[in-house]
Amino acid sequence: MGHKVPPYTLRLGINEYWKSRWFFTRNFKVYLEADYIIRKTIREMFKKTGIIDVIIERKDPEHCKVIIKTARPGVLIGREGQRLKKLQEKIDKQLSEIFKKSNLPKPATEVIVEEVKKPTAYASYLAQIAAIDIEKNKSVRAVMKKIIERAKQNKEILGVKIRVSGRLGGANIHRSEMITWGRMPLSKLRAKIDYAFEEALTKYGIIGVKVWLYKGDLEEIKEGPSIEER
């Protein structure tokens, strides 16, 4: 099972926590759709710009906090906060349409940008770097080796696995290439595995990039902090 499903999904409740942190007994599908729209808008506006993660928190139906963790906060914020303001306005406009159809008040949405100090310790950042290099027609094998070397600079990373699939080098037949370094215990639930998927758009078609990082084992299983505690 550890080799068939995303590591994050398999470890929810063990050493991973939900990226949407809320639960309402009523109008659940409306808020779920709102979360999807928020993530889609961020992904479309800031594609391959170093975004590590997006966390959505709702203490109640009237408030929504969107936390964007990124390696390049300046790209998201923009000069005098113009890009962040544009993102906020676009999200508010789309959410207004969703909640208006359901006859519900639109929650006040707050967008917060947090800088990640060591982005090369995260699979999403490394996958984005690999996808950008592949789009520049760089050698796939060289790109994969470069990602391995960048990941090895972080002491907490004990293993790396990279798989690239598609029409590599313009070949007529789809194929996959993979490079591994260190350990990668995908079936061990206590193992802290960071996983990410990214697409590289080339003139030959879409090339998929998958990155796994092994960051050791969880010694003791603990419950995640509540929103109030954070």
When pLDDT is cut at 50, 70 and 90, the band that residue 229 belongs to is low
Query: Cα(83)–Cα(64) distance, rounded to whole angstroms?
Result: 20
Tokens 């964007």 appear where? 68
pTM for the predicted model, two decimal places: 0.88
Report whether pLDDT(224) > 80.
no
When pLDDT is averaged across residues 28-42 and rounded to a whole number, the result is: 95
* Domains of the chain and CATH, by start: 7-115 (3.30.300.20), 119-217 (3.30.1140.32)
Residue 61, C-beta contacts closer than 8 angstroms, at least 6 positions apart:
24, 27, 31, 104, 105, 107
Span 140-181, pLDDT tens digits: 999 999 999 999 999 999 999 999 999 998 888 999 999 999
Quote the CA–CA distance of 14 and 21 in Å, as a whole number. Answer: 16
- Quick check: helix, strand or coil at residue 79? helix
Average pLDDT over residues 75-82: 89
Bridge partner residues of 64 (DSSP) = 109
Confidence label for 223 from pLDDT (cuts 50, 70 and 90)? low
SS3 for 37-75, per residue? HHHHHHHHHCCCCCEEEEEEEEEECCEEEEEEEECCHHH
Q: Where are the beta strands (DSSP E) in 134-230?
A: 159-166, 175-182, 191-202, 205-217
37-58 per-position pLDDT tens digit: 999 999 999 999 999 999 999 9
225 pLDDT band, cuts 50/70/90, is low
